[in-house]
A and B are shown apart, each in its own frame.
Chain A
Amino acid sequence: MDVAIRCRNLRKTYDGKVEAVRGLDLEIGSGECFGLLGPNGAGKTTTIEILEGLLPQTSGEVEILGKTWNAHSRELREALGISLQETRLGEKLTVRETLDLFASFYRRPRSTLEVMEEMALTEKANSWVGKLSGGQRQRLAVATALVANPKILFLDEPTTGLDPQSRRQLWDIVRQFQDRGGTILLTTHYMDEAERLCDRLTIIDHGRAIASGTPAELIEELGGHQMVEFDATGNDPVATESWRALPGVEAVHVEDGMVALSVRETHETIPALLAALQKRGSSLQRLTTRQASLEDVFVRLTGRHLRED
């Protein structure tokens, strides 16, 4: 597997004080869709902007397609398609004019007509950017990246603030790009997005990688594939330790009075749980079971939810 993006011991300190990235190693293969997952302020955007050559790192090495930014900046720019977080494109240009403008910066761009077709923007070709909906703007932002005919696509939170339909549309576009052999690096704080889209991902928090692997591997590491969540009367902190002792329980997390148990097999744990509750004389208010998700991985690793601001 060719390596498309590699960084070693990447660090970024702002103003000599704020450590945004604290020693990050990444190796992303050609043709992979790789996700950087983490809460706001985890260092995702700083990392991706360093890899995009828009921000100098404080220390560490970065190689894109085997080249460094210092020596091959122009050549790399030609090979990358970038969609930044929250770029507001000129509102008084039409969709088509915007794409033509971006296309003109590249030596060998794609046909803008085809890109518009692919991004479902043909209908809006002559509309001013200022008149587009959020989803259309986001598709246009990605279109300005695709028109470069890039080898690598960088997407910084491509679906933040979009409605479910627009999100699915963007996911399709990302898969299409990958099917043609493209490499994608995206950041997101949506777990479902990472699970569906990414071949591999790294979860970062406070500028450090706290877990890496395929979505399945990460969930596997959680120890259990199932989550049992319940609420019961007389549920006190002292009880938490006794839940851990139940058969099949890998981890316990209490939040807002709800107890979440990561378990290997639901059928091993639930009868024991019910028996234990009865013994304590408390009655069950609520009980749900579900498949574990990356969100649970994150909660397990940090004790926090991803989307807590």
Chain B
Amino acid sequence: MSFDSAVPTMREAKAPTLAPVNGRWAGYVNLLMAREKEMWREPEVIFWVFAFPILLALGLGIAFRNKPAEVHRAAIVAGTGAGRAVELLQASTEKRSVRADVLPEALAFNQFRLGKYDLVVIPQPDGGFAYRYDPARPESVLTRATVNDALQAAAGRKDALPTSEKASSEPGARYIDFLIPGLLGMNLMNSGMWGVGFALVEMRQRKLLKRFVATPMRRSDFLLALTSSRLILMLIELVLLLGFGVLAFQMRVIGSWPSVILISAIGALCFGGLGLLTASRAQKIETISGLINLVMMPMWLFSGVFFSYERFPAIIQPLIKLLPLTALNDALRATILEGATLPAQGSRLLVLLLWGGLSYLLALRWFRWT
């Protein structure tokens, strides 16, 4: 045996096995897949993104469903003539829609002041009636007109013009029809801002962003993956909410589905970008929660989710129309409810693309990775 063989040689380490070469987009694809998996594994996401808007639509749809014409409540001051007023109302065609009670004078005025009655009818010595109503309360004005018409008609007034009418409450003009596209827009905003913004700050706080930039990962790929991860969820949100409207409230989608999907996709990307920008420097989850609410607050208020923004003063209308959620809601409503084509929505889509594009570019520039 030779002496040499007894000399311990250095452990010969096995060369590592390499995986196949990665292509240009491997990082992006893997980031996107990882983000999707993480979202799906978060029960809160499932609730806020899918269940919450449907519950909201259901609740509001029921609360504001189109009810039969409301009952008008009138208080008749007790005394001579009160009996005649009741008789006349009973005889009129409006007897179902007017509820009239005879009350002592003081009580009648007190109840009127408290809003229990919309109108006080005071019989006059000359056989006529005086009305006490509140011009600032629409139902009071309406009750005055209805009761007056009923009394006059019952007393023998003839209509000078022949008229005819037909009741119409078709899908498309109801509150739920207005609401569902608005909820869709709001949901795309919520999930974009939270899904991207919040997730990012959490990763920054965990120092995961720092760990990522310690690899050759392309930073733009990372931001792009995060923004575009919204698209798959968007599609599900869209189908779920609109489908719910169609099934539960017989809503009709008049525009084309591809247009609706495209508009939603642009909206999702826009709010993904905005979420990115909002989260570009925040270090703590507490900070980003406040920031996200701050960014979303004006849009909740002004962008016409629950009621039309046309109620705001005309002077701020142009500003309201520049908000991304206004553009998204308007575009969705025009397409879903009126069947507007995409080219007709150019300015709204431009607003969305500008917000999204600028946010992404600014985020890329200001982003704090560590």
Contacts and interface: CB of A to CB of B under 8 A. Distances in A.
Interface in B27-41: 27, 29-31, 34, 37-38, 41
B15 A87 contact: no
A118 to B, nearest CB: 8
A87 B22 contact: no
Contact of A82 (B10, B22, B42, B211): B211
Interface stretch (A36-44, A105-113, A238-246, A254-262): A105-113
B34 A93 contact: yes
**Size class of B's contact patch?**
20 to 34
B137 interface: no
B370 A108 contact: no
Most buried by A among B41, B42, B215: B215
B91 to A, nearest CB: 72
B211 A92 contact: no
A233 interface: no
B10 A92 contact: no
A292 B112 CA distance: 96
Interface string B39-83: 001100000000000000000000000000000000000000000
A104 interface: yes
A104 B30 CA distance: 7
B30 A100 contact: yes
A97 B210 CA distance: 19
A173 to B, nearest CB: 12
Given A78-B216, A104-B29, A109-B22, A84 B38 contact: no
Interface in B192-246: 203, 206-208, 210-217
A149 interface: yes
Contacts of A86: 207
Contact of A105 (B13, B203, B216): B216
Contact of A90 (B10, B19, B208): B208
A304 B187 CA distance: 58
B296 interface: no
A114 B17 contact: yes
B275 to A, nearest CB: 18
Contacts of B37: 92-93, 97
A20 to B, nearest CB: 15
Contacts of B207: 84, 86-88
Interface in A19-65: 52-55
Contact of B19 (A93, A97, A111, A181): A111
Contacts of B208: 87-90
B13 A84 contact: no
B21 A144 contact: no
B44 to A, nearest CB: 12
A207 B206 CA distance: 26
The 8 closest A-B CB pairs, nearest first, are A104-B30, A77-B216, A88-B206, A180-B13, A179-B13, A105-B217, A92-B41, A105-B215
Interface of B: 10-11, 13-19, 21-22, 26-27, 29-31, 34, 37-38, 41-42, 203, 206-208, 210-217, 370
16 contacts: A54-B213, A77-B215, A89-B206, A90-B34, A97-B34, A101-B31, A105-B27, A108-B19, A108-B22, A110-B18, A111-B16, A149-B18, A180-B13, A180-B14, A180-B15, A181-B13
